[in-house]
Amino acid sequence: MKLNWGTGIALFYGTFVVVLVAVVIKSTTFDNSLVSEQYYADDLNYQQQYNKIANSLDLTNDLSVTTQAAEQQVELLFPTEVGQASGEIYFYNPSYKAGDFRVAVQPDSNSRQVVSTAALRPGLWRVKVDWQAGGKNYFKEVVITI
């Protein structure tokens, strides 16, 4: 069978339409939600965030975040050089928005705070610690796996 130019054009357009429909169907199944509900406000306040990160880098003893899998907890050791810490710890799970939660920074007398991970879904988590001490603001983000 010999193909003429009309059949070639029809096959090309037919293939194009099938691929286009497949791409549209695939794109409707993709979750394209923003990382944060306040995405634009977060973008406008990024200079303040950058200053917090710079303050954290200036510390001689940085905030330490460690995962203790056997005890099902995350331990945060705040630097003692800056004084009593306060602020917020945000646990963010990129694959499960409903699992995100916030905890107030309340270190004990040894500048240590423990957060239980027993009720958390296994997987990748981002621990974002936004804290204040000694008149300065600090920020640290750590990726952990539970």
Q: What CATH number is attached to the domain comprising 75?
A: 2.60.40.3080
* Alpha helical stretches, state H, 29-138: 39-44, 46-58
Q: Calculate the average pLDDT of the chain.
A: 89
Confidence check: pLDDT of 13 > 80 = yes
Looking at the fold, whether 44 and 3 belong to one and the same domain comes out as no
Looking at the fold, whether 22 and 53 belong to one and the same domain comes out as no
Q: How far apart are CA 76 and CA 58, in angstroms?
A: 18
Q: In terms of residue numbers, what domain contains 113?
A: 39-145
Looking at the fold, whether 69 and 131 belong to one and the same domain comes out as yes
Q: Residue 1's pLDDT band (boundaries 50, 70, 90)?
A: low
Any residues with CB less than 8 A from the CB of 29 and at least 6 apart, and which? none
3-class DSSP state for residue 45? Answer: coil
Asked whether 139 and 49 are in contact (CB, 8 A), the reply is: yes
Looking at the fold, whether 94 and 111 belong to one and the same domain comes out as yes
Looking at the fold, whether 14 and 65 belong to one and the same domain comes out as no
Q: Residue 78's pLDDT band (boundaries 50, 70, 90)?
A: very high
Looking at the fold, whether 19 and 59 belong to one and the same domain comes out as no
Structural domains counted in the chain = 2
Looking at the fold, whether 100 and 73 belong to one and the same domain comes out as yes
* Alpha helical stretches, state H, the chain: 5-28, 39-44, 46-58
Looking at the fold, whether 73 and 139 belong to one and the same domain comes out as yes
Confidence check: pLDDT of 42 > 90 = no
Looking at the fold, whether 89 and 123 belong to one and the same domain comes out as yes
The proportion of the chain whose per-residue pLDDT surpasses 70, expressed as a percent, equals 95
Looking at the fold, whether 89 and 133 belong to one and the same domain comes out as yes
Looking at the fold, whether 17 and 69 belong to one and the same domain comes out as no
Q: What is the pLDDT of residue 115?
A: 93
Radius of gyration of the chain (CA): 24
135, two tokens: 């008149």
Average pLDDT in the 37-53 region? 85
Looking at the fold, whether 82 and 104 belong to one and the same domain comes out as yes
How many Cβ atoms sit within 10 Å of the Cβ of residue 91? 19
Any residues with CB less than 8 A from the CB of 65 and at least 6 apart, and which? 74, 75, 76, 127, 129, 140, 142, 144
pTM over 0.85, yes/no: no
Q: Residue 38's pLDDT band (boundaries 50, 70, 90)?
A: confident
